[in-house]
Amino acid sequence: MPFNGSGAFSAPAASFPAVTGTVIDSSKYNAVINDLASGLTTVITKDGQTTVTANLPMATYRHTGVGNALALTDYASASQIVTNDLSHASTSASGVDAYVVSLPLPPPAYAAKQRYQFIADVDNAGDCSVNFSGIGAASIKLADGSDPLDGQIQADSVVDVVHDGTNFILINPSYADNLTCAVINQGANNVLDDSDLGSTVQAYDAATTKNDASNTFTGNNTFTGSVTLRQGVDVASATALTLGDGNAFDITGTTTITSIATKGVGAQVTLQFDGILTLTHHATDLVLPNGNDITTAAGDILVFYEYATGDWRLIATNKGMLGSNNLSDVASAATSRTNLGLGSLALLSSVTQTEIAAGLNQQTLFAVVGDFTSVTASGWNTIYAMSIYVPSSATSLAYVGWLRNATSGQDNSLRIVAAVAGTTAGVNGLTYAQTTEGTLDVSASSGWLTINIQLNREGGTETFIRSMSTRFI
């Protein structure tokens, strides 16, 4: 027996050792040679002729100078492990987000726990797949089983996936171009703060600008920091105005605007106008207060809300939607009551109490320019009734007017009275130009108050209001 089972070679005792001076016995000689041949047959040849038939215990020793594995049945060199050559595929070259890549040592089929990496050649656009070495296309999913959002696989970036037995799960979704909170606890009331980081919300600090796509919150969410709307690029005025990305825009040019392209129902935009142009009222496309067209001035700011697809409604302005706050503007811009006259006074009902209280005290409340409403009957005649909102800081409604009489030289009077009994009315009657203000005591009338504008024909055949302005004091 050439080897004893522990690796030691033993010659046959009956034939070895030979005795000096004796004749060589062929049987003994042949036995020794056969044992040597048998022993050599069980050794490993260095040129690869021998197939190993059992495990080789290395006893802490190692194979040195080994080559890289070229088949799944080869063992890998440490270099291949360190450089991740075995599981890092080539760069995809599909040109679409159905990625096609080659593995250095592809498996015969996909199986759970297989993990591979490749470099994407294009961004994904929603749902996507990968085909490794022609094995077949398999879907790429997020950890929750949903499809990746647009851009969660970035061109020229490493994509890391692991097979779950059905799909490849994306281990490293990108957040470079989108928020993703994946889903922010739909339907729940959430306060988004630092405790949510790494789970349902992506962190954005105060210095971060988030330029992602539109995101819809399905529950009530409280942001613990400030939210700043994005300033878009300047937009040239056009009949059909198209706005870019963002929620605030400077509008240049003087072209009349009749509609605004959709940004999505529920969108709100703030427009600052750099010059004079006209916004034309439309019953659905561009709803303006009281159905009146608006002529802007440089610096005017209007806020619009998209209440239906492509349909916008003016909801706020830095002028309170009441026209000019400057009496000289009223006198020069208006030539009849349709410009800034009583026909526009219904605008008051659409202004919020806060806007009026903050913006109208000590400013023009409404104005009338152009001959309006003649009175032929003698005595006091109510020519217009309206509701105004009285700021809590106001004590009086002051008014001044210029009356016109069909017959010169006649005395006539103008006054504003409250429709509520017990409220004092200021009375100021003059012929033609009125030189001092009349006043209506509103110190006890904070809130909405109905007033009557009245004329008293004291002489002549007919009396008109030529112009009139009011203010709170």
Beta strands in 376-437 (DSSP E): 379-390, 396-405, 412-418, 426-430
Residue spans of beta strands (DSSP E) within 94-245: 98-101, 115-119, 128-132, 137-141, 158-163, 168-170, 190-192, 221-223, 235-236, 240-241
**Cα–Cα distance list, 401 to 159, 379, 404, 430 (Å):** 77, 18, 10, 9
Residue partners of 64: CB distance under 8 A and separation at least 6: none
Q: 446-468 as b/e, with b when 16 or more CB fall inside 10 Å?
A: eeebebbbbbbbeebeebbbbbb
**Do the two domains 235-317 and 327-472 of this chain adopt the same fold?**
yes
Specify the residue for token string 């561009």: 286
* DSSP label at residue 103: -
| Cα 129 to chain centroid, rounded | 27
The span from the CA of 383 to the CA of 365, in Å, is 18
Dihedrals phi, psi of 278, to nearest 5 degrees: -110, 135
399 touches 452 (CB < 8 A) = no
Q: How far is Cα 4 from Cα 42, in angstroms, rounded to an integer? A: 12
pLDDT of res. 195: 46
Q: Are 293 and 276 in contact (CB under 8 A)?
A: no
pLDDT (0 to 100) of residue 234: 95
Six token digits for residue 67: 């080559």
Domain ranges of the chain: 1-61, 82-170, 235-317, 327-472
Omega before residue 17 within 30° of 0, cis: yes
User: What is the β-pairing status of strands 158-163 and 168-170?
Assistant: antiparallel
Residues 174 and 153: beta-carbon distance below 8 Å: yes
The span from the CA of 194 to the CA of 92, in Å, is 37
Q: For domain 235-317, which CATH number applies: 1.10.10, 2.60.120, 3.30.420, 1.10.3470? A: 2.60.120
Would you write out the chain's pLDDT as a tens digit for each of its 473 residues? 577 777 888 777 777 788 888 888 888 888 888 888 888 888 888 888 988 888 988 889 988 998 998 898 888 888 888 888 888 888 888 888 899 999 999 999 999 999 999 999 999 999 999 999 999 999 999 999 999 999 999 999 999 999 999 999 999 998 764 443 434 444 444 444 444 444 444 444 444 444 445 566 666 777 777 777 788 999 999 999 999 999 999 999 999 999 999 999 999 999 999 999 999 999 999 998 878 889 898 989 999 999 999 999 998 887 644 443 333 333 333 332 233 333 333 333 333 333 333 333 334 555 554 445 566 677 777 877 777 778 877 888 887 776 666 555 556 677 788 875 444 444 444 344 455 677 888 888 777 788 888 777 666 566 666 667 777 78
Maximum CA pair distance of the chain?
172
Token output for 180: 């993703």
SS3 194: helix
> What is the value of pTM for the model shown?
0.38
Find out whether 430 and 403 touch, Cβ atoms under 8 Å: yes
The Cα–Cα gap between 200 and 211 comes to 19
DSSP annotation string for 234-281 = -EE--SEE---SSSEEEEES---B-EE----TT-EEEEEESS--EEPP
**CATH number assigned to the domain covering 327-472:** 2.60.120
